Structure 1
């Protein structure tokens, strides 16, 4: 077990050094979606988003009120290729993504999209985010039902017409064919490694922007994913 722990620590250090960058993605104030999901009685739904490194995406959504759980993982490819080393080759079809489980009576899919587009990543960057390059870092949403698909498509069109970004939104609305959780050492990475240079430079500013731009939705203590390594 000690050897395994050492290998995991080494892997985390190597990945972090590979992802070092010089600046964070900017936050942009955007209007709320004009169209949102239908009101339902259920208290648990899921949403899947991809927007660069899943460390920051997970770290942001873990601080959102109404969210019940956030997992980092892979979406868009086959189960057999849903492994970090394979996905990083860039030809699996997968994107680093997060699966957000939320209570729609507390926060809607549209509001989650507003956070996704405004503070969690830059939706104008095609197949990259900050220092990370490749289709595995693309901006994409994976609707799990037709209602989510309609909301996402309408919101992307709304943002385009509003010209709130300095460049066109390149976010893709893709078919959802399954979410595959990432390795345990990737989960809760921002919370567990808050002093890591990559996190400090690229991701902590996103959490700060969430607090500033969405104070009514911000949770001080992150809701961490429970893993076998926790």
Structure 2
């Protein structure tokens, strides 16, 4: 733990201004969040009944926890690959644009159609999707251990093994399933109808391509062992079967 914390600190110091943004993210997760003059911890902010905590606050807590835990689990599983990129904050231009779009939609709809942001049951469904998705993804990362990497590996290392136990016995790609439902859940939580549909379509297309790319590599790495696993276990993503293999 000391090694992880010290390594994290060095990375932040080396990153300059960018490092400060990551430091702020960390602080947002672990420090208290001020609400109406009171101090509310992150778990309490997430679990307090929906009317008590505004959905934007729940969204920010969920977003912060997701990205920080990406870094933390990577530090536990595969510290050699640890870097600021492990936060996934700079995942891609499209990812940042999607986040910005959701903030713009929420703000405009809050001003023009405030009643739309007061659908308690829908926000609760979104919170459940967010919690489920994030927990599933982190369970997948921890189960895979050092086999997990944020970047698809093109070369098999000596330590690479095919993981089929735990959540990998439910889905072939549990980390993608978790991220898929987490991303859509953030928009359900915010009651953003446009981004709900947009996130679902864009995420589905992204993971369809990502799964096919990854499975080509996995078949190359593990051959018949992976093909047998593929026949028995679904991808977990709706209407995504993975790469087609010609027999």
- With normalisation by structure 1, the TM-score equals 0.31
Structure number with greater CO (CA < 8 Å, separation at least 6) is 1
Name the structure with the higher strand share.
Answer: 1
- With normalisation by structure 2, the TM-score equals 0.30
Name the structure with the higher helix share.
Answer: 2
Find the structure with the greater CA-based Rg: 2
